Amino acid sequence: MNADISTLKSLLSKGLYLDNLNEMIEICNRIIAQVAEPLPVYVLLSIFYDIYLSWDERFLPVEEIKQTESLFLPSLKGIITLIETSDDKSKLWNALNDLTKAYVSWVKREM
């Protein structure tokens, strides 16, 4: 699992784009099957998947990608670090709530 987490972090550092999202979805699927508490990874997976579906088959403006990245990347990176260290559950819970809020605002923007 550790190798998958570090690959996920490395992919995330490259930003969000379709091929990258696809790879991160595959990795999340692998991690889910290995961890005792899969909920945080499932949230990540669902968000990657929804962004993928929204961007697929489109000629995306750089601006839209930047906006999405600034909305999601800080929370996503924070959550991955918390999953990796798994030391503070309440921090993880708060981070998941922040990510979900970001998702809700992204969905509103997409509509």
Residues engaged in binding other proteins (CB under 8 A): 14-15, 17-22, 25-26, 29, 45, 49, 52, 56-57, 59-63, 65
Q: What is the rounded CA–CA span in Å between residue 110 and residue 50?
A: 11
Provide the 3-class DSSP secondary structure of residue 48. helix
75, burial (CB in 10 Å: exposed 0-12, middle 13-18, buried 19+): buried
Cβ 6 to other proteins, closest distance in Å? 20
Structure tokens at 64: 């839209």
| CB closer to other proteins out of 69 and 91 | 69
Q: State the nearest-atom distance from the C-beta of 102 to other proteins, in Å.
A: 20
Minimum CB distance to other proteins smaller for 5 or for 65: 65
Q: Is 61 left (phi over 0), alpha (psi -120 to 50) or beta?
A: beta
Give the nearest distance from C-beta 2 to other proteins in angstroms: 21
For other proteins, the closer CB: 45 or 83: 45
List the structure tokens of 49: 């998947």
Residue 44 or 92 with smaller CB distance to other proteins: 44
